[in-house]
Amino acid sequence: MLPMIALCFRAPPLFKVGASAKLNPIKIFLGLDMAPMQLPVQLPAKRKVIFYAVAAIGGIVLLFAAYTWLTLSWSYSSGDRSGFMQKLSKKGWICKSWEGELTLVALPGSMPEKFLFTVRDPDLVPKINASMGKRVTLAYEQHKGVPISCFGETEYFAVGVKEVVQ
């Protein structure tokens, strides 16, 4: 490694002065009286650096895509929540996703708790809209660690809905 560094510091200049009779220091400073030297040894090293930089960036993108796929395909937990379907809306600045709200009521007269969820399946959206304001049981999966909010603002993804007959 050290001999390579020493060779880098002793490399010839990139430009040499042209064969003009009078040397004009201003032209030399501005590079007008210079001809490029051929550097056959340094070009492959530059290509290696570019190759390794592109490979590193590609590797990082590939790891990010694999992590995103893993968090979206593997669920941390799954279960059911029962309550009144409060709202369902399509939100987002760039990435639009269906976000919903289920009001959970444990006892009459108690303060209701809101369960926020995301709907990824477009076939489930009309079923949830049809059950708006009714008592339903919502089946969900929890996906922890999803890296960006383009897939949903919450970590709870609805996978099914059933109306509760009273």
CATH number of the CATH domain containing 131 = 2.40.50.140
Q: CB neighbours of 76 closer than 8 A, spacing ≥ 6?
A: 142, 143, 144, 155
**C-alpha to C-alpha distance for 84 and 131, rounded to whole angstroms:** 9
Q: What are phi and psi of 2, to 5 degrees?
A: -65, -40
**C-alpha to C-alpha distance for 46 and 77, rounded to whole angstroms:** 49
Residues forming beta bridges with residue 163, ordered by sequence position = 136
In terms of pTM, does the model score above 0.85?
A: no
Cβ atoms of residues 147 and 71 within 8 Å: yes
Q: What is the pLDDT along the chain (166 residues), one digit of tens a residue?
A: 445 444 444 444 555 545 544 666 666 666 665 555 554 545 577 888 899 999 999 999 999 999 999 998 888 999 999 999 999 999 888 888 999 999 987 777 778 889 999 999 999 999 999 999 889 999 999 999 888 888 888 999 999 999 988 7
Q: Is residue 1 part of a domain?
A: no
Give the range of the structural domain holding residue 43, as residue numbers without chain letter: 12-72
Answer yes or no: do 92 and 57 share one domain.
no
Answer yes or no: do 65 and 106 share one domain.
no
Answer yes or no: do 85 and 129 share one domain.
yes
**pLDDT of amino acid 10:** 47
Answer yes or no: do 158 and 83 share one domain.
yes
Domain total in the chain: 2
